[in-house]
């Protein structure tokens, strides 16, 4: 398997299309090709090393069939660079920047980035959180300037602006993070998300927002009173999740400038993936995304 630890080494390791295809085969099939149509594992390899035929359904396929790369005219080598950039840049990369970096149109770059976010979403990090979990919600869109102030004055304008999209974040201390776009911040909505994603009996830390009340029937619940300018009380704080939110917002404002509400979920996925793999090497993060490349989404599906 090819080794690399930076972008230069990646481009050297995959300086031909054949090397990129070979790497994808190793990551996806682990040396045992299977048919993407019927999942049968007896296959015939054609002499060119690219085309395969299934012994069962007799259909032909390549390693990209059934993946996010299927039907793409973009060389796999360019996809690899895009994967490297989206997984290693702390704030992500815009479609405009990617289009310049790999020499494609912005529309193509936009499509590549959305397909990569789909791959990130597919299987990663579905396990529920446990131990001590910080929970907080924020709003994406609208003015961020007065965030701290509005947060202090919660239950007033900070949490009710209609132009903003609410996002709920949950982070296990020294563990993984999850973040979701939510319809609203009503108790019922937030409780369901918490219950679905945090192991019963864990300790949760929130602020005093009324929608978090009554979670102490299921969890050990500790909260701090932001309205009384309290931010840390011993072990009790929500600074980790707030730190993630500020990174997320810098990413959105700095790189994407504008995110339409319907795409917020995808940017959350990208940012939580980077956060959850921050201890990994560049190579592991790259291969993890590649490993999740099954599944495809058409341009039509994306824009609808």
Stretch of residues binding Zn ion (CB under 5 A), selected from 54-62, 125-133, 159-167, 278-286: 54-62
DSSP assigned state of 203: E
The least distance separating Zn ion from the CB of residue 44, rounded to whole angstroms, comes to: 11
How many residues line the site for Zn ion (CB under 5 A)?
7
Q: Please report whether residue 135 would count as binding Zn ion according to CB under 5 A.
A: no
Q: Please report whether residue 37 would count as binding Zn ion according to CB under 5 A.
A: yes
The least distance separating Zn ion from the CB of residue 50, rounded to whole angstroms, comes to: 17
Nearer to Zn ion, 35 or 290 (CB): 35
Nearer to Zn ion, 61 or 212 (CB): 61
Q: Please report whether residue 35 would count as binding Zn ion according to CB under 5 A.
A: yes
Paired sense of beta strands 203-207 and 220-224, if any: parallel
User: DSSP letters of 125-191?
Assistant: T-SPB-SEEEEEEEEESS--TTHHHHHHTTTTGGGT-TTSEEEEEEEETTS-EEEEE-S---HHHHH
In terms of Cβ atoms closer than 10 Å to its own Cβ (0-12, 13-18, 19+), residue 22 is: middle
The least distance separating Zn ion from the CB of residue 245, rounded to whole angstroms, comes to: 46
Q: Please report whether residue 53 would count as binding Zn ion according to CB under 5 A.
A: no
Nearer to Zn ion, 6 or 56 (CB): 56
272 three-state secondary structure: helix
Q: Please report whether residue 40 would count as binding Zn ion according to CB under 5 A.
A: yes
Q: Please report whether residue 38 would count as binding Zn ion according to CB under 5 A.
A: yes
Stretch of residues binding Zn ion (CB under 5 A), selected from 32-40, 204-212, 224-232, 262-270: 32-40
CA distance 264 to 192: 20
Paired sense of beta strands 177-181 and 165-172, if any: antiparallel
Q: 198 is written with which tokens?
A: 């945090």
261-289 as b/e: b if 16+ CB within 10 A: eeebbbbbbbbbbbbbbeeeebbebbbbb
In the set 54, 109, 248, 264, which binds Zn ion (CB under 5 A)?
A: 54
> What mask of x and - would describe binding to Zn ion in positions 170 to 189, judged by CB under 5 A?
--------------------
DSSP assigned state of 67: B
CB atoms within 10 A of CB 16: 10
The least distance separating Zn ion from the CB of residue 283, rounded to whole angstroms, comes to: 32
Q: Please report whether residue 51 would count as binding Zn ion according to CB under 5 A.
A: no
Q: Scanning the structure block, which residue is given the tokens 């793409």?
A: 72
Stretch of residues binding Zn ion (CB under 5 A), selected from 33-41, 143-151, 152-160, 216-224: 33-41
Enumerate binding residues for Zn ion (CB under 5 A). 35, 37-38, 40, 54, 56-57
């Amino acid at each position: 398997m090819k080794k690399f630890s930076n972008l230069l080494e990646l481009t050297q390791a995959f300086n031909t299309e054949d090397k990129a295809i070979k790497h994808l085969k190793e990551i996806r099939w682990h040396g045992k090709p299977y048919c993407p149509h019927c999942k049968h594992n007896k296959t015939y390899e054609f002499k060119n090393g690219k085309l395969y035929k299934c012994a069962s359904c007799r259909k032909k396929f390549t390693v990209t069939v059934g993946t996010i790369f299927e039907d793409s005219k973009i060389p796999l080598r360019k996809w690899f660079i895009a994967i490297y950039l989206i997984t290693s840049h702390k704030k992500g990369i815009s479609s405009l920047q990617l289009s310049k970096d790999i020499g494609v149109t912005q529309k193509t770059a936009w499509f590549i980035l959305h397909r990569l976010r789909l791959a990130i979403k597919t299987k990663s990090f579905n396990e529920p959180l446990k131990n001590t979990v910080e929970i907080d919600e924020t709003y994406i869109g609208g003015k961020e300037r007065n965030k701290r102030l509005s947060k202090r004055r919660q239950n007033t304008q900070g949490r009710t602006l209609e132009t903003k999209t609410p996002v709920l974040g949950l982070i296990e201390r020294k563990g993984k993070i999850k973040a979701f776009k939510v319809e609203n911040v009503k108790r019922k909505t937030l409780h369901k998300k918490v219950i679905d994603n945090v192991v019963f009996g864990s300790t949760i830390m929130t602020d005093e927002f009324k929608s978090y009340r009554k979670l102490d029937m299921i969890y050990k619940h500790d909260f701090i009173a932001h309205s009384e300018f309290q931010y840390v009380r011993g072990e009790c704080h929500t600074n980790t999740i707030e730190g993630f939110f500020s990174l997320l917002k810098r990413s959105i404002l700095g790189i994407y400038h504008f995110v339409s509400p319907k795409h917020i979920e995808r940017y959350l996925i990208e940012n939580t993936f980077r956060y959850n793999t921050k201890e990994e090497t560049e190579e592991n993060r790259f291969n993890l995304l590649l490993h999740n490349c099954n599944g495809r989404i058409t341009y039509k599906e994306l824009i609808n």
